[in-house]
Chain A
């Protein structure tokens, strides 16, 4: 980082930088709270210059804009972990490009919170966090998330090259009395038991190794202690992206 990067706050707040400089400065901003604060204030200041330049546009512009917005769908609010309703249809594959690395840091932070929140249930929170960062640092890390409403939310971080996967459940209901949530990995239609999700206050996590060529992860409700093969339709299921 050049020593004088802080001096760029003014030029940045005024859009007087090249695209490359903007990208570099934004990386700096993400780590520099005082810079972000200064940029916010300088932008407020620049806004006063815009207010002072106020000019009335032709009235016809308004009817054109109002007509136009009736044909334009609005964007949803931004969320940190990019929740995808159906991860099997729209898997979010994050490669460790420069851009994705920034996104992954955010995801890692969000998942870190999940992991920490569940620390009463974990023997070793640190091991879990280490597992997560190990996966996220792999060159082929992929993060998937699924929101199934009443059935809860799930986030999966996986790396084919490391052969590791971490499942994190949130807002999960308790399994019916005398039943367990059993996790399965699917291999070309063949289901292999991968363990259990034991929700505590709706949260659960499961670290998997040796996922091999798994092309699916499914969760079913099984009798206490589990079954050899799924005996009920999955309450959650996701097709895994190939490497």
Chain B
């Protein structure tokens, strides 16, 4: 891992929002060099997220490519008043990945029993990467402040791409409880991470 990569990662964790917003505005004007920088900034989290949800490597790459091209296509639709470019991009990425697995699911119900087992160790696979360690440690520490039900619900929904109904079935818990736990869990995580 070279210096350049490390700098990119630092930018990502420290002021990704601002950098992203400025890049996004240049990309909206058709600046391909700015898009390349935006790609470097976003592709790591996008790929990590999509891999966790989609899992199949070839399909994951396909979805990531779709997402990055969509960012290029719709950059002019981003406006800083709506929030950080990072969140805008990640919201779109998550939605795309989830759409992909849910339509595949509708076509042929997935027969593997993916679930708590698969997302139970969300960080292990990348734990050796220096680059995200800081972010990971903070997120992991904050996830520990959630109750077990809150944490499992949030991780199944976000990294697993599950609907709260599916989460309810997987965790054998009433839907109303799951809805509340997802919200409470995220709020606790938000306060711990110092978001907003």
Q: How far is the CA of A54 from the CA of B10 in the complex (A)?
A: 13
Given contacts A14-B158, A74-B73, contact A61 B43 (CB under 8 A): yes
Cβ-based interface call for A9 (8 A): yes
Q: Does B182 have its Cβ within 8 Å of any Cβ on chain A?
A: yes
Contacts of A77 in B (CB 8 A): 28, 76-77
Bound-state CA distance A42–B154 (Å) is 11
> Chain A contacts of B193 at CB under 8 A?
45, 48
Q: Is the CB of B36 within 8 A of A55?
A: no
Interface residues in A1-54 (C-beta closer than 8 Å to B): 4, 7-11, 13-18, 40-54
Asked whether A15 and B186 contact (CB < 8 A) given A54-B48, A66-B39, the answer is no
The reply to whether A44 and B77 form a contact with Cβ atoms under 8 Å apart is no
| Distance in Å: Cβ of A20 to nearest Cβ of chain B | 11
Q: Is residue A57 within 8 Å, beta carbon to beta carbon, of the partner chain?
A: yes
- Residues of B close to A48: CB separation below 8 A: 135, 138-139, 189, 193, 195
Q: With contacts A7-B180, A49-B158 known, is A72 near B69, CB below 8 A?
A: yes
A225 at the interface (CB under 8 A from B): no
Q: What CA separation (Å) do A43 and B93 show in the bound complex?
A: 12
B95 at the interface (CB under 8 A from A): yes
* Chain A interface extent, by class: 35 or more
Given the interface pairs A16-B182, A52-B140, the reply to whether A43 lies near B87 with Cβ below 8 Å is yes
A62 closest partner in B (C-beta) = B39
Residue A78 CB within 8 A of the other chain: yes
Q: How far is the CB of B63 from chain A (nearest CB, A)?
A: 11
Describe B's contact surface by its main secondary structure. helix
Say if the beta carbon of B163 comes within 8 Å of chain A: yes
A37 to chain B, nearest CB (A): 9
Whether the Cβ atoms of A41 and B139 lie closer than 8 Å is no
Complex contact A74–B182 (CB within 8 A): no
A58 sits at the interface (CB 8 A): yes
CB-defined contacts of B159 to chain A, threshold 8 Å: 49, 53
- Docked complex: A70-112 residues within 8 A CB-CB of B: 70, 72-78
Q: State the CA gap A160–B176 with chains docked (Å).
A: 48
- Contact status B35-A69, CB under 8 Å: yes
A50 interface neighbour in B28, B39, B48, B162, Cβ under 8 Å? B48
Shortest B11–chain A CB gap in Å is: 12
Contacts of A49 in B (CB 8 A): 139, 154, 158-159
In the complex with contacts A13-B186, A50-B48, A74-B30 CB distance below 8 A: yes
Q: With contacts A16-B167, A45-B190 known, what are 9 further pairs, Cβ within 8 A?
A: A14-B154, A14-B157, A14-B186, A15-B94, A43-B91, A45-B193, A46-B91, A54-B132, A74-B28
Seen from chain B, the residues whose Cβ lies within 8 Å of a Cβ on chain A are 9, 12-13, 16, 28, 30, 32, 35-36, 39, 43-49, 51-52, 61, 64-65, 68-69, 72-77, 82-84, 86-87, 90-91, 93-95, 98, 122-123, 125-126, 129, 131-132, 135-136, 138-140, 154, 157-159, 161-165, 167, 176, 178-187, 189-190, 193, 195-196
Q: Would you mind naming 14 contact pairs between A and B with Cβ atoms under 8 Å apart?
A: A4-B179, A10-B154, A10-B186, A15-B94, A15-B98, A43-B83, A43-B87, A49-B158, A51-B45, A53-B126, A61-B43, A64-B65, A74-B30, A74-B73
The 10 closest A-B pairs by CB, nearest first: A10-B183, A10-B182, A55-B48, A53-B48, A52-B139, A16-B157, A57-B47, A54-B44, A14-B157, A54-B132
